[in-house]
Structure 1
Amino acid sequence: MKYTNLPLLQVCLVFFLGVWFGFTDFGLDFSTYLLINLSLFVLFVISFLLTRPYPELTSLFTLMAVLFLFSLGALNTTIHLPKHQENHFTHLLSKDLSNGGFITFEGEVVKPLKSSAYKDKYEVSLISVQGITTKGNVLFQIPVSNELCITSNSKISGFGKLNVFEDPQNPQQFNYRHYMFTQQMSHTIDSEAAQIRVETHSEFSFMSFGERARRKIQASLDKHGFTKDQMDIIQALLLGQKQDIDPETYDSFSKAGVVHILAVSGLHVGILLLILQFVTKGLLRVKYGRFLREISVLLGIWGFATLAGFTPSVLRAAVMFSFLSLALNYRRKTSAINTLALSAIFLISINPYFIYQVGFQLSYLAVISIVTLQPGLSKLYQPKFFADQKIWDILTVTLTAQLGVLPVSLYYFHQFPGLFLVSNLVILPGLGIILAGGILVIVLSLSGILPDFLASLYGQLLDLLLSFVNWIASKEGLVFSDIYFTKSMLIASLVLFFSLVLWNSKHKLWSYSLLNVSLLVLLVCIYLEKRSQLQQEETVVFQTYRNSQLGLLKGSILNLYSDKIQPKDSIKDAYHIKNYKTLKGIDEIQLSGFRNIYKLNSTEVLFVLDSIPVYPKSNFQPHYLLLKNSPNINLDRLISELKPKQIIADGSNYKTDVERWQASAKEFDVKFHSTWENGAFVLLKN
């Protein structure tokens, strides 16, 4: 492939780097970013004008173009950052109100989010805070209640407790604060039903229209006896709502390597595009038929996106396939890579936070891999018959897509489904039938003419899908999990992947050199990471509610000391321990009960004081003192006698005791760490 003929790809890559760079905080104000962009634009125009009389200055023009595009990407990010938006609500908050304070507010519901067992959750766009007009999105939470009807476009006013999202309390845990940052939310408002007023907004919005349409479809389908599992699959595949899927079912799809079909994305919209192209083909016979066909296809794509609630995955797919449908309908010669790049630039221009979203990364890597690598792979074998041609096409598409997403999926999810080829080979050919059949069932159901036998037949088809996925997922020996994969390994893998994407058969020397260097970099990176893993030493006091857990990590072995050691498997499989084990590359966990003294190195000792406050009183000065199970002690006297340099209070202590101890430590100028407030205490040795 001649990548010099793909200007949009080059523009996209430089723009993306600028967008990513824009999230780096250098303390510059918005006017400085704007001045830099204007200066580079002037230099860009001057260099362009100079290239005509002086062709030898083309390199200067290229450099100015790259710098201007890069700065334009950074400016785009800067515009969207809250700190550069004067009326963003975070600028109105005092130190006391920014976390844990009560505020009065008014806002409009953007969309309902997945509820927890105790809380209903909504994304709310603020209109005012403390009576001052403002903007910005927050997560609004309220106890689960049937009294209130809150939908998209509803207006909420009242008061609630404002909290900022915190970092995880234990190392290597999922960072919910960073995830909400990618959703452009930094705070949550917790309220009660009696503290708010809900008004139905009369203005039209596509989000509320889609929500009403989904409720109407669901009510219509409920009349035909679909089971909960069947309805969950229909909601996910056809309505873009996967939040109600049973966690075990979702886990089965993940282990089978087909979890992507549960999120409406490029696969679903691509199939829909083919269906719409086929259905509207007859319009080409009438006057202005090509225009009418394109309008019909675009209405179908964006109508589906509206129905799916404009989730990030369906929004990406709708934008990309809208560009592609225009090219197909008007028979324009275009590269799929250029189309992909154009859609990415469009999306990132609207919302630069997309670059941090895992779905965005996975979807674009998969499509890039399919478009660039699948044609070459498919040429390795030339089937003679229609059936094996289709099987070979599915295999090559699945392999290249998996190759593209492998580095990112290993980094985020640390597992690899060994039977992904089998599951995709069976499910993908039938997915078109499931989607087309689902659309037919929905249309007939809304029209009130859906026959029972057809509803039953479609339900059996969904049961067959679930049974097959569960069977594949049951082969747990072929699901490789807890894979050690670090950020440096991710970057090296992506470099190797793009060296394959940039392969050019007309420049084999350059291509082989880039490929070999990339492979060498990856191997060196893996070696260094494994070496670092074997040399790592770390002491961790985990934050656990009403329990004490101390971890001493050396190499790939974790010695875990816990108050509760029965049953052992439940402790090792605890969320924070399992994540820590995976991300540190731990091969073995040795579980024991607590002892009082731990020698961390030749000079430093950790002393554990529990509910029985007994400690040596002569010639004993531990560097670290761990307080657990709320010992009845006089900390002032203990500090005077033991003279610790650092005091740690874990989650097994009462908060009132921790607050009292913290005051004593401050009085004696001794460092104090409460895992209740500050999360786990981590002491690195290397």
Structure 2
Amino acid sequence: MYTTIGEGFRFAPEVFTFFIALFLGLYFYSRNYRSAEINTWVGIVGLFCFAAAGFWVTELRTPHLQSDHLSNLNQKPAYYTGIVNDYVIQKPGYQRTVLAVDKVLVNGNWQKAIGQVQVTVPHDTPDDYTFTYGDKLLIKGSPLPVQGPLNPEQFNYKAYLQQKGIYHRQNLQVHQFTKLGNDPPNLLLYLSIQIRRYLEETIKENVLNRREAGISTALILGVKDDLDNDVRDSYAATGTMHVLAVSGMHVGLIFGVFLLLFKSINLNKSQRLVFVIIVLTLLWLYAFVTGLSASVLRAVLMFSLVMIAMVWSRRHNIYNTLAIVAFLLLFYDPYFLFDVGFQLSFLAVLGIVAIHPGIYSLLDINNRLLDKVWELFSIAVAAQLITLPLGIYYFHQFPVYFWLANIVVVPVSTFGLYAGLLALVLHWVPYLSDLLFALHFGSIWLMNEINLLLSTFPNALINGLDISVLQSWLLYSLMALFTLFLVRKKLKYLAFATLIVGVLSVHQILEMIDQQNQKLITIYSLRGSTGMAFIQNQHAVLVADSLLAADKQNYSFNIQAHLWDLGVSAPTVKLVGENPANSTGVISKILPDGNELLVWEGKKILLIWKPLKVQPLTTMELDYIVLGQNVRLKPEALLTFNFKTIVLDGSNKPWYVERMKAELSKKNIPVYDVATSGALVQQL
């Protein structure tokens, strides 16, 4: 609620105080008069107290509302200082981390400021890490606000960072920053990072194959910096990406070993207390060395509460345990609620608790091994079912063979996790550590090969699924109603479920009718590339340069979601400068000077990548002239054309864009820059 109306309402403390006072008044009144109606109102007002408290905590956890936040500076700083307060992420060609700002230099005066800046530096030093957690830096220049999505339906990286409290970013060169020292703001996190980095190096020294080493560090420590893209895609295609994210499954596997020991030995109350203290210490130690992420915190908190309930022989309700864990985490940071991993992990646990017993009870298998296989299958199905609508909403895909992959991969990954943890604990023991690392390597190699094989199966991954927030809620309602019908055997639940199916069907039919009648042109905002789509019905022709055609990540991040939203599963690709097949509907004419004229549905677009050497005999009517590749051109040369707008596409350098915008504005020539204004979309 706060994210929609909160920032315009600045009386959260007063509202919270009001509801607390009202609650206390009603509570004491009900104690004296013992009215059932008053007791009901006490409960209702109590809920409002929690809502008001959440409202207030969210306000306190929203950084830009502070007066000294970077967003509220009247002028850009010339310099600023800050402390590295996050992990340093290693990627091919660059490093990235987060800097907590403490001072800025504005108009020659240093002043206090707060805010987090995502900083990126190139890998041009001999050291693996240019800086580390706790480094205090002096940085030249001003951080820029994070840019919002420039293309339709593009992932909103700005909102993603803001939910983590990051509103600015800056790309740095080595000469732009100076280290002033090291003063870690959180000693525990500093030690956690140092231990994790040491364990990461230990893994790389003993798992020599780069592909397997990348999976090993992700499986054990949650470090995904060295993951191979092909292997990552195969895990996504088989629905086993959760194996590579240190989360509840990993903590649960470790917890499971201790739980078996707990149940297999008879202990008195004091012995159980000692045992639980040891187990909790080991669980929190594992969370400590894996970075205390939200998913690990959730799992460790939940299992800690379960263990405490067990030692006191108290009956515990898993739903209450989950609610308490969610409350504690959201009280610490309300914006965890928008974290996809947080949402999926809680849903997966709910699915396993609520749906798994019903699925598992459908078959009664006497064979112990087959029964374990069926149990794994039912767990995988339960977790996948309850996360299905949310997974489709966020990722637009569905792994068809998730059930088979989880049956095979989860046991192998479990063995690999146990072997890897033992190998790290005993890495100082000769021969034994070598044997454990060999077993660990073998299990990871086998896991990778299984996933790569399953990802090649026919229709292994259904892509292009696109649903709205409303549709996802309707799917969850449908799932809940079917579950209630199966459990309680009442036809009213089936009737409501049928009604929701009808609503979903009508919504889908209306959407398909719209897509069958759509016709539009989109010139996308791409860094370093040219891309434009001609979309009619549920078909599209993508005109792209060779860089875009070869860069799968650029296409998937900037264009794919838009086409999926329009019902286009895969476009026909036409390279710039090449004549398309007649079936595409786009007419292309390569001019003698190497430039290209595109004609589609009566619209004419001239692509100018090379200096104009051909002039039309008469004034040519054009809709758009697209300038790319920093083409050398004088604005006067364009006056022989009759056009609506000059479009500067993403293949141009920033210096060229600024120069051309200035020159064109002097001639009163309309210009559209996709790098700042976003994709140009024209509906026909």
- On whether the aligned pair clears a TM of 0.5, the verdict is yes
- Between stretches 197-206 and 474-483, larger displacement belongs to 197-206
Cα contact 1:125–1:136 (8 A) shared by 2: yes
- Between stretches 427-436 and 279-288, larger displacement belongs to 279-288
Cα contact 2:393–2:469 (8 A) shared by 1: yes
Is 2:80 the partner of 1:104?
A: yes
Cα contact 2:400–2:462 (8 A) shared by 1: yes
Match of 1:199 among 162, 181, 198: 181
Match of 2:103 among 128, 133, 151: 128
Report what 1:18 is aligned to: none
Cα contact 2:137–2:179 (8 A) shared by 1: yes
Secondary structure of the equivalent of 1:168? coil
2:677 and 2:75 mapped to 1: Cα distance? 18
1:447 positional shift: 4.8
Matches within 5 A, 1:25-174: 25=5, 27-28=7-8, 30=10, 32-48=11-27, 53-57=34-38, 60-61=41-42, 63-91=44-72, 93-97=73-77, 102-113=78-89, 115-130=90-105, 131-144=110-123, 145-147=125-127, 150-174=131-155
1:449 positional shift: 6.3
Cα contact 2:529–2:548 (8 A) shared by 1: no
1:253 positional shift: 1.6
Secondary structure of the equivalent of 2:159? helix
2:655 and 2:639 mapped to 1: Cα distance? 18
- Between stretches 64-73 and 266-275, larger displacement belongs to 64-73
1:77 positional shift: 1.6
> Could you say what the CA RMSD is over the residues aligned between the two structures, in angstroms?
3.5
| Amino acid aligned to 1:330 | W
Report what 1:349 is aligned to: 331
1:344 positional shift: 1.0
Report what 1:4 is aligned to: none
- Between stretches 646-655 and 314-323, larger displacement belongs to 646-655
Report what 2:403 is aligned to: 421
Report what 2:497 is aligned to: 515
Is 2:446 the partner of 1:464?
A: yes
1:596-652 per-residue CA deviation (whole Å, 9 max, x = no partner) reads 475768xxx65536353746866x87665555564734469939x94x665433235
2:139 and 2:300 mapped to 1: Cα distance? 37
| Amino acid aligned to 1:104 | Y
Report what 1:638 is aligned to: 639
How many residues matched?
Answer: 651
| Amino acid aligned to 2:564 | T
1:570 positional shift: 7.5
1:577 positional shift: 4.0
Cα contact 1:111–1:207 (8 A) shared by 2: no
Is 2:2 the partner of 1:22?
A: yes
1:264 positional shift: 0.9
Long gaps (5+) in structure 2: 575-579, 581-587, 590-595
1:398 positional shift: 0.8
1:462 positional shift: 2.6
Cα contact 1:492–1:525 (8 A) shared by 2: no
Report what 1:329 is aligned to: 311
Secondary structure of the equivalent of 1:111? coil
Secondary structure of the equivalent of 1:480? strand
Cα contact 2:417–2:440 (8 A) shared by 1: no
Cα contact 1:106–1:129 (8 A) shared by 2: no
Cα contact 2:466–2:565 (8 A) shared by 1: yes
1:453 and 1:112 mapped to 2: Cα distance? 32
1:95-114 per-residue CA deviation (whole Å, 9 max, x = no partner) reads 545xxxx422122432222x
- Between stretches 353-362 and 131-140, larger displacement belongs to 131-140
2:444 and 2:654 mapped to 1: Cα distance? 51
Report what 1:3 is aligned to: none
1:284 and 1:349 mapped to 2: Cα distance? 38
1:448-472 per-residue CA deviation (whole Å, 9 max, x = no partner) reads 5635344333332332222222222
| Amino acid aligned to 1:342 | I
Match of 1:262 among 228, 244, 247: 244
| Amino acid aligned to 2:97 | Y
1:587 and 1:204 mapped to 2: Cα distance? 47
Change in Cα spacing, 1:606 to 1:74, as seen in structure 2 (3 Å) is farther
1:360 positional shift: 1.1
Cα contact 2:184–2:190 (8 A) shared by 1: no
| Amino acid aligned to 1:638 | L
Secondary structure of the equivalent of 2:568? coil
Is 2:675 the partner of 1:676?
A: yes
2:491 and 2:283 mapped to 1: Cα distance? 44
Is 2:158 the partner of 1:177?
A: yes
Report what 2:583 is aligned to: none
Change in Cα spacing, 1:169 to 1:125, as seen in structure 2 (3 Å) is same
Report what 2:414 is aligned to: 432
Secondary structure of the equivalent of 1:110? coil
Report what 2:355 is aligned to: 373
1:34-73 per-residue CA deviation (whole Å, 9 max, x = no partner) reads 2223333334444545655442455544543444433332
Report what 1:8 is aligned to: none
Report what 1:313 is aligned to: 295
1:223 positional shift: 5.3
Is 2:282 the partner of 1:300?
A: yes
1:368 positional shift: 1.1
1:176 and 1:215 mapped to 2: Cα distance? 27
- Between stretches 621-630 and 230-239, larger displacement belongs to 621-630
1:397 positional shift: 0.9
Secondary structure of the equivalent of 2:275? helix
Secondary structure of the equivalent of 2:459? helix
2:484 and 2:681 mapped to 1: Cα distance? 43
Report what 1:396 is aligned to: 378
- Between stretches 174-183 and 198-207, larger displacement belongs to 198-207
- Between stretches 117-126 and 485-494, larger displacement belongs to 485-494
Cα contact 1:284–1:293 (8 A) shared by 2: no
Secondary structure of the equivalent of 1:174? coil
What is the TM-score normalised by the length of structure 1?
0.84
1:304-353 per-residue CA deviation (whole Å, 9 max, x = no partner) reads 01111122322222222222222233232122111111111111111112
Cα contact 2:79–2:138 (8 A) shared by 1: no
| Amino acid aligned to 2:633 | N
Long gaps (5+) in structure 1: 1-20
Cα contact 1:647–1:670 (8 A) shared by 2: yes
Cα contact 2:145–2:169 (8 A) shared by 1: yes
Secondary structure of the equivalent of 2:442? helix
1:268 positional shift: 0.8
Match of 1:236 among 208, 218, 243: 218
Report what 1:9 is aligned to: none
1:258-309 per-residue CA deviation (whole Å, 9 max, x = no partner) reads 1111111111101111223345679964672222222212111110011111
Secondary structure of the equivalent of 1:543? coil
1:548 and 1:437 mapped to 2: Cα distance? 48
Matches within 5 A, 1:426-505: 426-447=408-429, 450-500=432-482, 505=487
| Amino acid aligned to 1:673 | Y
Change in Cα spacing, 1:26 to 1:234, as seen in structure 2 (3 Å) is closer
- Between stretches 366-375 and 493-502, larger displacement belongs to 493-502
| Amino acid aligned to 1:227 | N
Cα contact 2:337–2:343 (8 A) shared by 1: yes
1:681 positional shift: 1.0
Cα contact 2:91–2:226 (8 A) shared by 1: no
1:574 and 1:170 mapped to 2: Cα distance? 11
1:85 positional shift: 2.4
- Between stretches 352-361 and 486-495, larger displacement belongs to 486-495
Cα contact 1:103–1:129 (8 A) shared by 2: yes
1:487 positional shift: 3.7
Is 2:251 the partner of 1:251?
A: no
Report what 2:167 is aligned to: 186
| Amino acid aligned to 1:106 | G
